[in-house]
Structure 1
Amino acid sequence: MKTYHAEVARDGRFWLIRVREIDRSTQALRYKDVVTMANELIEIMDGVGNDEYDLHLEVHLPSSVKDHQARAEVLREEAQRKQAEAAAEHRAAVQELLALGVSQREAGEVLGMSFQRVSQFSSLRRKTARIV
């Protein structure tokens, strides 16, 4: 099965679509129409049906947009690490209170957590204790 590669870039108000294998271009007003327009161009110019080929899109974005995306990914990963650290600290607080003989309900009230969340943290402690 043949594969066509469509390079897509914003050009003013339109998305410019260039299909390398047929050396032709088209455009779409909305991004959601890019695949349809590329398919129509391929089918008209090469006389093939849409089940006779694969289409691979390569979207070219301005470097400033790529920079924002890269920074957002770094921040997302950092947020995930921080969230995991916060959960570990919550878990440690729950486990210390329970070790002092405080009930799960009281621990939840004192720490501003639901009973169910405290119960999850205490069951994690028991599972960890069995594994070790």
Structure 2
Amino acid sequence: MVEEVKTYHAEVTRDGRFWLIRVREIDRSTQALRYKDVVTMANELIEIMDGVKEDEYDLHLEVHLPSSVKDHQARAEVLREEAQRKQAEAAAEHRAAVQELLALGVSQREAGEVLGMSFQRVSQLAKSS
């Protein structure tokens, strides 16, 4: 029979210069100066308070950030997705320009010179039609 592993939930917030770590299941807190130390500090707290070893439980972090930070992150994601779409559109337009020049009898090397692209890029675009 497989024994179920207990999961501890650590709520992490910024508190002045420190990261405050509150482990719900043991109703205790600790802190870390750097975010990279949050997991270590949470594990140490759990091990001291509950007497379990790190490989005997799972730790789930819930990082609570200010709403303004979440807003910036959400906006950045929207912009990143928009940039990806725009990049795909730009590639399609480059491809169309290359194909039109080649259809006019311009060589790939000349098309690259005219469009400010390398011969290799023109060749790639010509093959991706």
Q: Name the TM-score class by shorter chain.
A: over 0.9
2:67 corresponds to 1:59: no
- Deviation, 1:38, is 0.2
Cα 1:61–1:3 change in 2 (3 A) is same
Partners of 1:103 and 1:96 lie apart in 2 by: 11
* TM-score normalised by structure 1 residue count: 0.90
- Deviation, 1:70, is 0.5
Partners of 1:26 and 1:15 lie apart in 2 by: 9
- Deviation, 1:88, is 0.4
Aligned structure 1 segments of 4 or more residues deviating by more than 2 angstroms: 129-132
* TM-score normalised by structure 2 residue count: 0.92
Partners of 1:59 and 1:130 lie apart in 2 by: 47
Q: Deviations over 1:12-64 (max 9, x none)?
A: 11000000111100000000000000000000000001100010000000000
Partners of 1:64 and 1:43 lie apart in 2 by: 34
Partners of 2:66 and 2:79 lie apart in 1 by: 20
Cα 1:100–1:30 change in 2 (3 A) is same
Sequence identity (%):
94
Partners of 1:59 and 1:89 lie apart in 2 by: 42
2:97 corresponds to 1:100: no
- Deviation, 1:76, is 0.6
Q: Could you say what the CA RMSD is over the residues aligned between the two structures, in angstroms?
A: 1.9
- Deviation, 1:97, is 0.4
- Deviation, 1:130, is 11
Partners of 2:6 and 2:120 lie apart in 1 by: 55
Q: How many residues align?
A: 124
Cα 1:17–1:130 change in 2 (3 A) is closer
Partners of 2:95 and 2:19 lie apart in 1 by: 50
**What SS does the corresponding residue of 2:55 show, helix, strand or coil?**
coil
